[in-house]
Amino acid sequence: MAAIAVRNLSKEYAGGVRALDGLDLEVADGEFFALLGPSGCGKTTLLRTIAGLEIPTSGTVSLGERDVTRLPPGRRDVAMVFQDYALFPHMDVADNIAYPLRIQRVGRQDRRGRAAEVAAGLGLRDLLARRPAQLSGGQQQRVALARAIAAHPAVFLFDEPLSNLDARLRLEARSFLKRLQRDLGVTTVFVTHDQAEALALADRIAVMSAGRITQIGTPRTVFQRPATPFVASFIGSTPMNLLPAVLSGDRLTAAGTAFPAPPGVSGEAEVQYGVRPEYLDFSAEPLPEAFEGEVAVVEHLGTSDLVTLAVPGTPGVRVVVPEGVDPAPGTRAWARPHPARGLVYES
Ligand code: ADP
Ligand code: MG
């Protein structure tokens, strides 16, 4: 097992694309660490640089006590699982799983034995003689995982390994992966653009944007205390409301409605006010200190509805409403933010 330390890492591709921009990161030994960010922010580049598949333009990568910046991938003791699994089409499942052992010059007998053991643990025992093309997406994904596990690496690097699975299988694979990582205790960096996946899996999350890390914290911290409006809008199953507002003393005014600022926030400034749709009370009767508008859209989320109120001076105020309330589009309604749950950003 090993901790990972990335220092001042930059990567510029030919053509001048700066994929990583002076990035610093530390992952603790045994930690399940998620890298979350929109497409193109540099997640894959960072992972490939840790793996040794990309050489950084500047900066260093250390695994445990070793500076591995100049080491080839095969000498880093890491195993990477790619988004498309990258299985060898001409090899059967057993040989695919045993491949890293062959590279490590483990003898054929031992190789087959270890591959069979890992395969059994992942429910692949009956598939050892098949080729990748004869497997479902979920089975291929498990073969790719088995190959990583069989290598007994100090570090797992996962690049969106669940993104090619359908929704149901993806949830199953997610729980499976979480249990597996906990049992093996292998330091893991898991890349995803799916905030729900990151929140569900990780001990800590780094939110990335344009080759840099915007915030690092526990799932709870990045959800409850997003450091910037970008993180706020990126995390959460329903997008955060972000409204221009004026702070005056310990009161805020947004869209013509005045209400208390969050505890500890005061001053005189133009700000951005953020509040999650889950943290507004909805009412079909007038409420004080509430946004008033017309019910524009009702989206069913299962056990609740996401209602968008057309509030003049805003792009719309979203509020999560418990099932059974059934707001009617076109009617007037009120949404009152919970003062303690609001977030205030410099604008
Ligand atoms: P992500 O995995 O977050 O989607 P990537 O690391 O794949 O992001 O890409 C980061 C940026 O680097 C993007 O602008 C992408 O187009 C660019 N990029 C990635 N790989 C290469 C490459 N081999 N050559 C040139 N540009 C690249
Ligand atoms: Mg990527």
Q: Is the ipTM of this complex over 0.90?
A: yes
* Interior/surface letters 117-155, b for 16+ CB within 10 angstroms, e for the rest: ebbeebebeebbebbbeebeebbbbbbbbbbbbbbebbb
Which residue of 9, 10, 12, 13 sits with most ligand 1 atoms within 8 Å of its CB, as the best mutation to test the pocket? 13
pLDDT bucket at 154, cuts 50 / 70 / 90: very high
Alpha-carbon distance 282 to 86, whole Å?
49
> Residue 42 CA: which ligand is closest?
1
pLDDT at 255: 94
Nearest-CA residue for ligand 1 atom 26 is 13
- Structure-derived torsion over alpha carbons of residues 121, 125, 129, 130, reported in degrees to the nearest 10: -80
Ligand 1 in reach of 48 Cβ (< 6 A): no
Tell the CATH superfamily of the 4-234 domain.
P-loop containing nucleotide triphosphate hydrolases (3.40.50.300)
What does the block give as tokens for 254? 């947004």
Distance, CA 40 to ligand 1 centroid (Å)?
6
Domain locations along the chain:
4-234, 241-346
Distance, CA 43 to ligand 1 centroid (Å)?
8
Ligand 1 in reach of 103 Cβ (< 6 A): no
pLDDT at 1: 65
Query: Are residues 192 and 35 in contact, defined by beta-carbon separation less than 8 angstroms?
Result: yes
Instruction: Name the more confident of 5 and 124.
Output: 5
Instruction: Could you please state the CATH topology (level 3) that the domain comprising 241-346 is classified under.
Output: OB fold (Dihydrolipoamide Acetyltransferase, E2P) (2.40.50)
pLDDT at 71: 94
Q: Which amino acid is at 177?
A: L
Q: Which amino acid is at 16?
A: G
Nearest-CA residue for ligand 1 atom 24 is 13
